[in-house]
Amino acid sequence: MPSAFQRRVERALADDFLRMAVPQGTFRDDDARRRAWAELGAAVRWRERARRIREHTVRHLDRYLALAAERIEAQGGRVHWAADAAEAAAAVTAILRAAGARRIVKSKSMVTEEIRLNERLEAEGFEVVETDLGEYILQVAGDRPSHIIAPAMHMTRRQVRAELSRVAGRELPDDAAALVAFARERLREAFLAADAGITGANFVVAEAGAVVLVSNEGNGRMVASLPRVHIAIVGMERLVPRWEDLGVLLELLARSATGQKMSVYTTFAGGVRRPDEIDGPEEFHVIFLDNGRSRLLGTDFQEALHCIRCGACQNACPVYRRIGGHAYGGVYGGPIGAVLMPLLGGDGEDWGELPWASSLCGACHEACPVLIPLPELLLRHRRDEVEAGRVHAAQRWAMRLWGIACAHPAAYRLAARLARLLPRSLVSAALGAWTAGRDLLPLSARPFHARWAAMRTARR
Ligand code: SF4
């Protein structure tokens, strides 16, 4: 019986629009990233610097978390520590109740998706409005993000129009500007009525205790400054030690995500409103979330914590481009999702199949601004799956035989000779799903090593 993951993939592959829409977005952003890196110049050096910053930060996370907490509290903020999704949601609920807040505006935040915060808050009677345009559309459609940066990448304008028309109670024009204008009007009302704003954080600068939010729509800034309470929920690894480290990462973040030199808005939220300031919250809370992250420290997977959530690996991945983010099932899709989901867990699903959904072509590593060795991490997952005996016996035997053939030239030649004798229909049947969507090319009558030997002889 096909697994839940296989069923999701089947669905995605059968969705013609999705297979057209996702590549449109991913190819565009991937091309834009390449151009932006070329314009920046010395991209390899920038990326190496960024990698060192992330490595240093994660290695000394305890020190920088303590420093950030001290600086946030020195500015009148309050720091909370959440071990998991339930603790984070409980902390948010307690803050909102104590402040008498009911109406909440939110900016886009993957970490709040990770802990399913909206569902939890709505179950407690709070009214939550997403204010990023893509997230707002998904919220009214009852859908979930399919991409780290472009959450509604999988939706058509027609679908968006239908969803917003339903909210409006009238048929909206088939015009992108008109649809955006409608959403903006609704969101302004939500901003003005909100008691509290919830954001994630792209980074927290430890030496300043500053929460950094980058966005193209400016909604993050309004969520953080208009309501009287601001709550930032931060994955505990999203720190940078100093302002100058932030500068390096900001040089790469927007370029890697969308090819922009900078996102349109970069907001620094640092504490409560001071007497001489005209806006800002009366209460400022930062919730540092663990949710499985600390388990990765000191393991083979620590580098997964270096991720700055730019989405570049998703845009580069030939698998993601075909099936989109929903097929992965977890909140994080694409290569980084295939690494993170089995580690972080969640949603009661076993994510052990995800690391196999990769050709290991290396495109994700080439695209990653902080040089996370994603193919290696995927291989480490596969190794763990094999060692835990969670791989089908036929696959284990096939790999064992392949290993013997590769280690012994004579065995390899014999196997190649035998393979040429087998009828192709039999080989196709044996490879099952692999050949269902691909042609099985016939084996060359003359094997490569024979041609190689002949070429070397001819050169002498
Ligand atoms: S793994 Fe690298 S490329 Fe992928 S989202 Fe994270 S930082 Fe970006």
The 10s digit of each residue's pLDDT in 88-130 is 999 999 999 999 999 999 999 999 999 999 999 999 999 999 9
Q: What is the mean pLDDT of residues 8-14?
A: 93
Helix (H) / strand (E) element for 205: namely: strand 203-205
Which burial class, exposed, middle or buried, applies to 405 when counting CB atoms under 10 A from its CB (0-12, 13-18, 19+)?
A: middle
Question: In this structure, is residue 316 part of a structural domain?
Answer: no
8 Å CB contact between 91 and 85: no
Closest CA to 371 of 303, 293, 450: 303
Question: In this structure, is residue 136 part of a structural domain?
Answer: yes
Residues 270 and 157 in one domain: yes
CA distance 323 to 6: 11
Residues 29 and 153 in one domain: yes
Question: In this structure, is residue 309 part of a structural domain?
Answer: no
Domain count, the chain: 2
Q: How far apart are the first and last CA of the chain?
A: 57
CA distance 255 to 243: 19
Cite the beta strand spans of 255-342 per DSSP E. Answer: 265-269, 283-289
Going from the Cα of 271 to the center of ligand 1, the distance in angstroms, rounded, reads 29
CA distance 23 to 315: 8
Q: Would the pLDDT of 430 be above 80?
A: no
Determine the atom of ligand 1 nearest the C-alpha atom of 314. Answer: 4
Please state the three-class secondary structure of 131-156 as a single string: CCHHHHHHHHHCCCCCCCCCCCCCCC
Q: What is the CATH number of the domain that holds 266?
A: 3.40.50.10420
pLDDT tens column, 24-80? 999 999 999 999 999 999 999 999 999 999 999 999 999 999 999 999 999 999 999
Residues 233 and 91 in one domain: yes
Last residue of one domain, picked from the residues 255, 276, 294: 294
8 Å CB contact between 372 and 340: no
Going from the Cα of 258 to the center of ligand 1, the distance in angstroms, rounded, reads 13
Q: Would the pLDDT of 10 be above 80?
A: yes
Band the pLDDT of 398: cuts 50, 70, 90.
confident
pTM over 0.85, yes/no: yes
Residue with CA nearest ligand 1 atom 4? 313
Question: In this structure, is residue 364 part of a structural domain?
Answer: no
Going from the Cα of 369 to the center of ligand 1, the distance in angstroms, rounded, reads 7
Question: In this structure, is residue 344 part of a structural domain?
Answer: no
Question: In this structure, is residue 321 part of a structural domain?
Answer: no
pLDDT tens column, 273-290? 998 988 899 999 999 999
pLDDT tens column, 144-198? 999 999 999 998 888 899 999 999 999 999 999 999 999 999 999 999 999 999 9
Question: In this structure, is residue 308 part of a structural domain?
Answer: no
Q: Would the pLDDT of 450 be above 90?
A: no
Closest CA to 326 of 314, 308, 339: 314
Provide residues with CB under 6 Å of ligand 1: 148, 307-313, 336, 367-370, 372
Question: In this structure, is residue 304 part of a structural domain?
Answer: no
For 435, the domain range is: 394-459
Strand 283-289 to 210-215 pairing: unpaired
